Structure formats: C-alpha cells, structure tokens
A and B are shown apart, each in its own frame.
Chain A
Amino acid sequence: MKTIRKQISGDKFFQLMVTIILTVFFIIELYPMLYVVFCSISNPDAVASGEVLLWPVGITLQGYQKVFQYRDLWIGYGNTIFYTLAGTALNLAITLPCAYAMSRKELMGRNQLMLFFMITMYVSGGLIPTYLNVKSFGLLDSRWCMVILGAISVYNMIVARTFFANSIPDEIIEAARIDGCNDFRIFGKIILPLSKAITGVLVLYYGTGHWNAYFDAMIYLDDRKKFPLQLFLREILIQSKFAEEALTDSTVSAEELAYLAELSKNADLMKYCIIIVSTVPLMFIYPKLQKFFEKGVMIGSVKG
C-alpha cells in the first residue's frame, strides 16, 4: 500500500515535471512563428532596428495588402494544391507497396534491391544529364513533370520499411496466408488499415515537400500559368536583392536606386507575410493528420 502511494506521488511529480518542461518548450517553439507574425504587421524599420520583440510595433497591414495584390498568387495556390494532392497520392501509391515488400523476408534479394535504391540517395547525375533526361520523356514545361518527378523518396521508403518491419507482427501475415490470402490482399486488406500512423507521416513528409518545392518548377517550367505558389513568392522576395545588386551597376540612376530600395523595403516586409500566407493552410491540416498517430491502438488489440 505504502509503495503504491509512493509510486503515485512519484508519478505526479513526474507528470508535473513533464508539463513544466513541455510548457517551457512550447513557449520557445511558439516564439519564432509569433515573431514572424509580429514582423508581418510591423513597420519594417522597427523590425530592422530590432524594436520588434514581444509585440508588433507601428502596426500596418500593407505587407498583406501587397502580397494579395499580386495577381498571380491565386494561380500559384491552385497549382500548388494540385501538385501537392496528385504528387502525394502518387508518392503513397509507389512508396507504401515498395516499403511493405521490402520489409518482407520472403523477398529474395532484398539486400541487393536495397543497395539499388540506396545508391541513388548518394549518387546523382547532376543538373545537365537530369534535365536532358526529363526532356527525353517530353516532360518539360508540363504539369505532370511536377507530379512525377520525385515519385519516390528512398529516404521515406526506408523509414516506412522500418515501420512495417517492426510494428506489424509476422503472426498476422502468417495467419492471413493460412486463410488463403495472397500478398496483394494481405497488403490491401490487412497491412494498410494497420499503417495509419506511417501513412500519416508519409503524407506529412511528402505533402510538405510538394508544398514547399520550387527548384524543379524553376528549372522545368516556363509557362507562368503552371507555376506553383512558392515560385511566385520567391519572385516577390527576389525584389529585396535588386537594390543591393544595383549599387554596383553602372546603368542604374539614383532615382531608380531609390525605387529599388523602396521595393526592397517592401519585400522585407512581405517576406514575413509570405511565410504566414504559405504556411497557414498547412497548420490547419496537421491536427487532422495527428489523429492518425493515435490510431496505432488497433495493433495492440490485434496482437492481444
């Protein structure tokens, strides 16, 4: 009796410590985003001189106004949503089956296959051969290029494989096999429903990757109607560099420099707004994905 009470008070102490640590952590982690929000509605001069710290200074919504005035923004949003949805769907369709099969000991030569995959994590052909390759498939300046490129990330596949290998008991598969299930059925009917947590992780990894991607679009797309959001946002940000570049440019007049400096000041303000504008949609989706992590309970019940 005494030990149990001791244990409970010990647990309470433990709980308290966890809460304190995580609350402090919460504040530390909240601060950068909060700071970005403050900066996005503050006078850029106040930001530059370090006055903005715990609250916005010289409140202005000009940054958001300018960002939303940017007419291409909505085209970008539309494209990004398409690329993210289609791209992530393709990613899952390729990664999950592959990772599952790679986790099975019955797969002969899986170490060799692993090597085949892993080499590509470290060795790549470089910009020019990769570009010529994409061109040879006729994918240049095509929306499908944005969906197909990066169809599988070997890194994510390995992460998923680890999950399958360790979280799904062999007994379940054995039992299913005895019941006459083939591998397709086992994967579709038994494994997938048990893999909500890893699917959630993959959606998060791949989805965010697509959402934030700009390099492929920058290299392979010419038609502005197909540009993703991030590419347009970068165009706004680049304006902050023109003034600095122009300082050493012989063809730039003083008036133009003043104008470029003005643009650069605006871009300084907008760079914070841009983070908010492009991140807010993701912030709404996370809590929904987090629920998948709780669903793991099912495995326990199956095991039992």
Chain B
Amino acid sequence: MKKRKQILSVLLAAAMVTTMLGGCGNAQGTSGKSSTASSTSKSESTQNAVVESTVESNDDGTEDSVRISEETIEITLAGPASVTTNEWNESVQFAEYEKRLGIKINATAYDSEAWSSKLTLMLASDELPDILAGLTATTREDVYKYGQEGYLLDLSQYLDVMPNLTRIMEEYPEYARHITMENGAIYGISPFSVRIESWNLQDVYMSQTWLDNVGMDAPETLDELYEVLKAFKEQDANGNGDTDDEIPMLYSAYSCFPILWAYGIYSTDGKLHEMVDEDGNYMVMNVTENYRDYLRYIHKLYKEGLINEDAFVISSDEKDQLINNGKTGYVGNVTSIFLGLDNEGDYSKQKWFAVTGFTGTEYNSESVVVERERVGANFRVLVSADTKYPEEIAKLIDYLFTVEGAISASNGYEGLTFDFNDIEGYPVVDHTNYIGDYESSEAYRTRKATSRGAFNFYSINEGTIYDMLQNIDTDKLMEGECYKVAGANATKQLAWRKAVQKGVQFKKPLPSLSYGDDGAERATLYTDIVNYCATANVQFITGERDLDKDWDTYLEELEKMGLQRYIEIQQNAYDRLMGN
C-alpha cells in the first residue's frame, strides 16, 4: 500500500511538470495578442489528454485521470442549491469522481436563501461538512474571520500537492492576493476566469440597426453620443413608423458606465464610485467635480427625454419588455439580450454591438474601459479544519484547476456527457447526443451532467466558444456559425479588438477588501453613505436638487456622515491587501 502511494506520488510529480508546461501554453494563449493564435485549442486539449494518458492508461485504451485516493473515500459536502435542488448526488460528474479519483462525494444542497443562516448554525453547532461549496456568497471578510477562528483548513500548507493552483497564483498575482489572507493562510477558493480579454468587457450595447436607421456612425465622444441619442429620439429609429415610441437610452448603472469613465471615474458600481489612483490613493469619486460634471451631462439627457422618464422606478421585467419589443437603442447588462440567443429574430434585428468608454471631456482624452473582475469576490470552496482527508481534498481542488478538471465541473466528461463539435474549425463542447429526456442542452448540463455550482469556479477557454472567438478572423466574427453561437460575445470580441487597435486603456476595478476589526464600523458607515449617495444621484439627475445650489450642502452632509473615516478604513484595508 505504502509502495503504491510512493509510485503514485512520483507519477503525480510527473503529471505536475507536464501540466505545468501545458498550463504555460494556455496562459500564453489567453494573455497574448489574439492575432498570434499560436496553437488552436484542439491541439491543446489533445496535448492535455496525452499528458494524462502517460500517467495511467487502461487496457481498453480510455484515458483516466489521476487517482487521488487508492481506496474510495467518502467526503461530505454542503452548499446552497442552484437551479438543481436535490440532484447534486445524481450527476455524472460526481459519479465519475468516485470512479476516476476515488472520491465519493455525499452532497446536501440547501435552499439558497436559507444558506447563510444554515452556515451560521453549522458553525455555531460545530458541525461543518468536509467541504462547503457552491455559490456560497461567503465574503473574503467572513472567510478570514472563520479561518482565524479555526473553522477552516489552511490550504497553503498543501500547496506542494497543488501544482496547478500554485501555477495560477504565480501567473496571476491578483488572484493570489485575493485568496491569500493577510496572515498568509489560504482558507478557500474564489472563482477565477482565464477567459479571453473581451470577456472582461462590461455588458453595454448599442443597436447598429438604430444607427443605420438614423444614418449615423457609432459615437465616440460624449457630444456625438448626445447627437445620436437626440436622433434616436426625433426620428423613427426602430423603423416601426412611429417616431414617438423610442427610448434612446435605457437608464441603468451599466449603460452609464461608458459615460462615467469619460469623466475619469473608473468605477463599476452604480451608487458609490470608489477607485484607487496610480499612487495607490483610495478615493470616493462621488464628491469630486468629475462626478458633478457627469451628473450635469446625465441630467441634460434626462431633461431632454433621452433617458426613460421612469428610470428610477422601472422594474427589470419592464426593461426586458422594452428591449425585446425594440423600444430602445442603448442598454446595459440585461438578461433579455442573452435571451436573444434563442430568439434569433429580435437579436439579429437590433444588431447590438458592445460599447467602450466615451471620450471628449477635460478629465480624459483617451477611451477607457474598466474591466470585469477576473477574480470572483465571493468564495466557492471552503474546507473544514476537522476533515479527515485534508490532502485528498487539496488534490481534488487542484484537479479542478486542470483543463480536464475544469471541464468536468462545467460540462462533465467527453464521451459520457458531451462530444466536441466542430464550429468553424474549433472544438466546442456539445451535449446534444446525451440530453435524453431533458428539455434542453443547458437543462441537461446543469441538472445531470454536472453538479452545477458546486465546483465550477475555474473558467477556461478550452472547449468553449471563447477559444474560437479568440482566434477567428475579424471578418468572420459577426457572421455565420460563429455569430450564431456566440451572439453578444462575438460583438464583445469585435469591440475588444477595435479597442485594442484604437489603444483604449484597460483599467481594473477596486479589488474586494477585508476589514478585520473595522468591519462593524465600516458596515454602518457604508450603509449610511451609499443610501445618501443613491438618493442624491437620483435627485441631481431628475433636477429635484440643483447641481449649482445644492452641491455644497450635499458635500457637507456626506462629511457629517463620516466620509473621511470611511475613506480611512478603505485606504487601510487596501494597503493591507497590497502589502501582502
């Protein structure tokens, strides 16, 4: 037994080296320029398959993953349910883990709204399962607290059996910073995406059809945007014969981002605009002249009816309806755009294209995009400090950072739950042959092929449309199969390529922070300030408060609320994080 373990560890070491090499290849692919396209993912995935088959190969020629435990061990897992409620244990993914890895997972899923109470009670009665997983909504702050109190396993002790995680942490310091707490421990795993850059673009879209109908080009400056929106309003932009039913811009936090960025406010929050400048100074932009000028601009749009009048009371259902019925030409982050994927008519009719930051203010001469975070703020996998199998679980987590592991968590296993389907020469996972009674491929994937939400924290390009999007020629991007399957993502890729050509500046949003002893004080300060800023934002835009007369009182009130103290707490937390 002992000898077999030794052999296994040698094999593991071999696998480690090779996967690391493979990993470097992947990383180059994702961070390099799209035009290089050195290797297609097809060859990459076969490379990986070869890597694994050198480790162990069955007589029938099928390839096996690295077995983690020789004798099958059983570990318990709990988490909030998502889509599926009681089907985690019935997934092909978990069944294969038992077969391939020697780990049988016994999962309990809870009502996602009850989860935070459930977690608290599990902690209070000291009855944690081996693994907490899923969309646990556990913040960095909570994880640090629970970890310090001794509830959670410190994974940093096991990094020597976690080569893939180690590699990713070396390659992406922002990820390492996020999961490594200020005391050096790693108490859990956050989602992480190594997808193509265009994935990082915020979802803000404008309709090319509307632009064509009013005979204008895509706006680049704020003045041009104003002219375009005005044209949308005055003309029959949606081409239905009625010149009065157009809502030029559907107000939302997201549709305002490109305007906000133009004023040098690099935030991706709708209410409190926080950012850190080049020198590492934390700032709240809501009290700056930048923000005041931004509000002037939005107020002008609102006053002239270029933004929907019910902007601040409209429900998300109503918004979806307006978009689906072709009533608006400029929108941000709404599900109905993606619904368009199924509903070819509407989607292609509007020809949405992704929008990047506008220019044309004294604050900013270049177009800016504040990217979506690659690092997910909340933690997805936490391990109990009392588990009997710390090393095995560490290896399991590391397995999920391999290509095979990541795909197993997102799609299952080739030949069991999916085949690779060739789209424009790129292999894309296709479940069609396996869905059986399930109503759609997604239903099958999320309910049967995988235990959705439990382990899909590492997002990669391999086997997805992103691989194709990264490498396909620009002129093929918006047509044929590619556009059909990639939809909004294709337009984002196009926008990203254009942005790179134009030399758009890409900026990162404020990373998530943790506060330690200041946490309680910060929570009330934050609530006070955000509440006030949210209301003031509306009042300045609608004109209920005047940007000239009421601005000073606004600033004074914010000071009274303890803004300075809040900034101090945030700055300290940021410094602590970066000092790591």
Contacts and interface: CB of A to CB of B under 8 A. Distances in A.
Note whether A and B contact each other (Cβ less than 8 A): yes
A258 B442 contact: yes
Main SS of the interface on chain B? Answer: mixed
A134 to B, nearest CB: 10
A131 B125 contact: yes
B316 to A, nearest CB: 7
Given A48-B321, A131-B125, A254-B489, A245 B336 contact: no
Contacts of A238: 111-113
A198 interface: no
A249 to B, nearest CB: 7
A239 B446 CA distance: 13
Nearest to B82: A242
A218 B459 CA distance: 32
Interface in A241-294: 241-245, 247, 249-251, 253-264, 268
Nearest to B318: A48
Interface in B331-355: 333, 335-336, 338-339, 341-342
Contact of A257 (B108, B318, B338, B373): B338
Contact of B341 (A235, A251, A254): A254
B139 interface: no
B321 A261 contact: no
Nearest to A260: B83
A17 B85 CA distance: 54
A218 B121 contact: no
Contacts of B321: 45, 48-49
Contacts of B191: 249-251
A127 interface: yes
A128 B193 contact: no
A234 B115 CA distance: 14
B111 A250 contact: no
Contact of B442 (A127, A241, A259): A259
Nearest to A46: B321
A56 to B, nearest CB: 17
Interface residues of A, number: 40
Contacts of B339: 258, 261-262
B324 interface: yes
B317 A131 contact: no
B17 interface: no
A113 to B, nearest CB: 32
A258 B124 contact: no
A202 interface: no
Nearest to A256: B442
Given A219-B117, A234-B111, A132 B124 contact: yes
Nearest to A234: B111
B28 interface: no
Interface residues of B, number: 56
Interface in A123-178: 127-128, 131-132, 135
Given A251-B191, A256-B446, A244 B335 contact: yes
B440 interface: yes
Contacts of B318: 48-50
B103 interface: no
B328 interface: no
A127 B120 CA distance: 9
Contacts of A244: 316, 335
A238 B114 CA distance: 11
Contacts of B373: 250
Contact of B118 (A219, A231, A235, A245): A219
B491 to A, nearest CB: 11
B124 A48 contact: no
A249 B335 CA distance: 13
A224 interface: yes
Contacts of A249: 135, 191, 376
Contact of B117 (A127, A224, A255, A268): A127
A255 B341 contact: yes
A222 interface: yes
Contacts of A258: 338-339, 341-342, 442
Nearest to B80: A238
Given A238-B113, A243-B335, A131 B121 contact: yes
B124 A254 contact: no
B114 A218 contact: yes
B271 interface: no
Contacts of B121: 127-128, 131, 219
B335 A257 contact: yes
B100 interface: no
Tell which of A234, A250, A256, A264 has the most Cβ of chain B within 10 Å.
A250
Nearest to B333: A247
A45 B318 CA distance: 9
B456 interface: yes
B376 A251 contact: yes
Given A242-B82, A261-B339, A264-B335, A128 B374 contact: no
Contacts of B111: 218, 231, 234-235, 238
Interface of A: 45, 48-50, 127-128, 131-132, 135, 218-219, 222, 224, 231, 234-235, 238-239, 241-245, 247, 249-251, 253-264, 268
16 contacts: A48-B318, A48-B320, A49-B325, A135-B125, A241-B112, A247-B333, A249-B191, A249-B376, A250-B193, A251-B193, A251-B376, A253-B464, A257-B335, A258-B442, A259-B442, A261-B335
Given A48-B320, A131-B124, A250-B374, 17 more contacts: A45-B321, A49-B321, A49-B325, A128-B121, A218-B113, A244-B335, A247-B203, A250-B375, A254-B487, A254-B488, A255-B341, A255-B441, A258-B339, A258-B342, A259-B442, A261-B339, A268-B317
Interface of B: 81-83, 85-86, 108, 111-114, 117-118, 120-121, 124-125, 135, 191-193, 203, 315-318, 320-321, 324-325, 333, 335-336, 338-339, 341-342, 372-376, 410, 440-443, 445-446, 456-457, 459, 464, 486-489
